[in-house]
Each structure stands twice: as structure tokens, then as C-alpha cells.
């Protein structure tokens, strides 16, 4: 591989490890979530556990593709300067990715065993992960063998949450026969003009692809979530346009989540761009009313509201 096409330089690897990432194979990584650590110490749970019943102390936050993304979103807390717009380098085996991520995750958490403040039952359970949150960094649908990866996660007795920016509808079609337990698609803007400004896509026809992916949801049987990451003065306006888009989407959940002023996003935005929780609730309420839905839950610490249709409430389940 040419030097300029190397996936990860030694310097960048050290930088990522300093940030808490653990690299496995050529293009995958884990990073133990702060809520996972808090849960083991009985200091709180993440909103995904509150909303969807997943035990966050048994969650592996990972990516099979830290180096590829067709978006350069202003609010991204990751270092997007070293990512490629399309696949570069070798393609690792799905089984190697799953095993490597579990190994690195468990290895990272081992040190908690000596902490007198931990919940020992939760700690022991955390050594046997239950959930793969396929997200973290990059665009997961860029991984060419994603359907096999989902199957491998399930074959090892774990469940999968897949988060995508929706710009790869062709891969979503392949997943129809290899469905995750829960599929997230991000709706990043109320219209194409705003999308181009805030996501700064390198993919052609990105907005059209996202709309295509949203329509594909009706063909999925798994649980489906639309996520709106809201940034003041950037994409947190025109509630009527968001409502027009989501009212006909066949999704179970709609998350209205505040942008958080952390990581590399601090080089692109200011703290004034971070909405307060009451602002998220007000905005979510407006969109919900216009789309014929209701706010059914919230988590103030995460500045997030959960919106649903009345007939979808039976989709919440515990694992």
C-alpha cells in the first residue's frame, strides 16, 4: 500500500490509543463508553438502556471501519481529517473483527475488578458482552462484508445495533436478509441545502441516498430508529420540514439528540451551538405535534427526547 494510502500511521495509532480507542486488525476499533464504566460502578445508565432496555454495562462500542466516511459533519467529535471517502486497504474477516473487539473490550475493563466501588455482578456480566453497537467512528456500511459481520455477532449470542448515515442504500438492501436487532439512520438536516452545509459530503447525491434509505425502512422487520442530532444555528430549525419527512417513515423510534461540544467538533463549532435540554424538548414537541406523534420519554443528562407513534409502543423490549 502506498504511504499516502496507509490506513493508520504509527503516530495516529498512538493518538487514538491515548483517546481511549483500542485498534484491532487493520480497520476496526473499540472505545469503552463512559456510560458503560458508570453503569459498572452503579453511577447511572445511558439513554439507550433507559429507552430500549439494553444493558449498557454489557455493550461493546465498536466500528468495523474507522477510516472511511463520506460525510465531514461539523458536529462530529471524531478526527475526520484522516478518514477516506471510500474504502482503502485490506478487508478483515468478520469473525476476526468480532473476536478482536470482544478481546480488546474485555481487556480494557479488567482493571475495574480491583475497584471497591463497582457492582461485582455487573462487572462479571461485563466480561461477557451482550451487545455490539456498530457505530463509534466512520460509516459502518462502508465495510464490504457487513452482512456477514451482523451474522457473526448474532452467531456468538450477542445482539447488534447498527448506526448509519444512510448514504449507502445498496448495502442496506443487502442487509434485508441479515438484519441487525436495531437499525439507526441519521436524519441530519431538514432539507438538502442545509445538509450540504452541515455534513459537507464527499459522496455524490448524498441527500437523495439518505431519502432512499429512509424509504427502505419499510422493508425491514427489525426495530428502527431515526436519529436527529440537533445543532443550534446549524440544523435546529424548520420543524415543519422535519415533520414532513418523518411523518411517512416506517420507523419505531425518533431520537431528538442535542449536539455535545466535545472532541474535534470544538474546532468547528462553539459551545453556543449546543442546545439545552429544554430546547430539545421544545423542538421535539413541535416536530412531534406536526407529525402526529408524541414525546414518550427523555433523559436530561444526555439532552435527548424519544418520540413515537402511539401504535409503536409495543416495540420497546428488554433484552
Q: Which domains does the chain have, with CATH numbers?
A: 3-183+190-224 (3.20.20.70)
3-class secondary structure, 126: helix
State residue 316's pLDDT score.
Answer: 67
Identify the segments of the chain with pLDDT beneath 70: 1-6, 313-319
Give strand pairing partners of 306: 255, 297
State residue 319's pLDDT score.
Answer: 58
Distance CA 142, CA 162 (A): 12
In the DSSP assignment, the letter for residue 68 is B
Report pLDDT digits (tens) over 131-162: 999 998 899 999 999 999 999 999 999 999 99
Burial (0-12, 13-18, 19+ Cβ within 10 Å), 272: exposed
Report pLDDT digits (tens) over 47-97: 999 999 889 999 999 999 988 999 999 988 887 777 888 888 899 999 999
In the DSSP assignment, the letter for residue 159 is E
> With left for phi above 0 and alpha for psi between -120 and 50, is residue 237 left, alpha or beta?
beta
DSSP assignment of 203-272: STTHHHHHHHHHHHGGG--SEEEEEEEE-TTTT---HHHHHHHHTT---SEEEEEE----GGGGGTS-GG
Could you tell me the three cell numbers for 216? 427502505
State residue 53's pLDDT score.
Answer: 87
Distance CA 277, CA 284 (A): 10
State residue 242's pLDDT score.
Answer: 98
In the DSSP assignment, the letter for residue 67 is T
Query: At CA 125, angle to CA 37 and CA 111, rounded to 5?
Result: 45
Q: How many CA atoms lie within 13 Å of 130's alpha carbon, on the beta-carbon side?
A: 15
Predicted TM-score of the model (pTM): 0.92
**Residues in contact with 34: Cβ distance below 8 Å, sequence separation at least 6, in sequence order:** none
3-class secondary structure, 256: strand
What H or E segment, with its residue span, contains residue 194?
Answer: helix 192-199
Strand 253-258, strand 304-308: pairing:
antiparallel
Are the C-beta atoms of 297 and 278 separated by less than 8 Å? no
Amino acid at each position: 500500500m502506498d504511504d499516502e494510502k496507509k490506513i493508520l500511521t504509527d503516530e495516529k495509532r498512538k493518538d487514538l490509543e491515548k483517546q481511549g480507542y483500542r485498534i484491532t486488525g487493520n480497520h476496526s476499533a473499540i472505545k469503552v463508553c463512559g456510560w458503560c464504566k458508570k453503569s459498572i460502578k452503579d453511577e447511572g445508565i445511558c439513554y439507550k438502556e433507559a429507552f430500549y432496555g439494553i444493558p449498557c454495562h454489557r455493550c461493546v462500542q465498536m466500528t468495523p471501519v474507522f477510516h472511511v466516511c463520506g460525510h465531514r459533519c461539523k458536529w462530529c467529535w471524531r478526527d475526520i481529517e484522516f478518514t477516506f471517502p471510500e474504502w482503502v486497504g485490506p478487508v478483515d474477516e468478520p469473525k476476526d473483527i468480532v473476536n478482536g473487539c470482544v478481546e480488546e473490550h474485555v481487556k480494557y475493563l479488567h482493571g475495574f475488578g480491583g475497584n471497591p466501588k463497582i457492582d461485582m455482578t455487573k462487572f462479571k456480566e461485563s466480561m461477557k458482552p451482550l451487545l455490539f453497537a456498530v457505530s463509534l467512528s466512520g460509516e459502518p456500511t462502508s465495510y464490504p462484508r457487513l452482512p456477514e459481520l451482523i451474522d457473526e455477532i448474532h452467531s456468538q449470542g450477542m445482539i447488534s445495533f447498527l448506526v448509519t448515515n444512510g448514504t449507502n442504500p445498496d448495502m442496506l438492501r443487502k442487509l434485508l436478509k441479515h438484519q441487525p436487532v436495531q437499525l439507526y439512520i441519521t436524519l441530519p438536516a431538514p432539507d438538502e441545502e442545509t445538509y450540504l452545509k452541515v455534513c459537507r459530503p464527499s459522496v455524490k447525491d448524498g441527500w437523495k441516498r439518505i431519502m432512499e434509505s429512509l424509504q427502505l425502512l419499510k422493508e425491514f422487520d427489525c426495530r428502527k430508529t431515526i436519529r436527529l442530532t440537533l445543532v443550534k444555528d446549524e440544523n435546529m430549525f424548520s420543524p415543519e420540514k422535519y415533520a414532513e419527512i418523518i411523518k411517512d417513515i416506517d420507523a419505531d423510534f425518533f431520537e431528538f439528540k442535542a449536539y455535545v461540544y466535545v472532541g474535534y467538533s470544538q474546532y468547528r463549532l462553539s459551545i453556543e451551538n449546543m442546545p439545552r435540554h429544554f430546547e430539545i424538548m421544545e423542538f421535539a414537541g413541535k416536530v412531534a405535534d406536526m407529525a402526529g406523534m408524541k414525546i414518550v420519554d427523555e433523559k436530561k443528562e444526555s439532552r435527548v427526547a424519544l418520540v413515537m407513534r402511539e401504535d409503536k409502543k409495543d416495540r420497546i423490549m428488554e433484552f
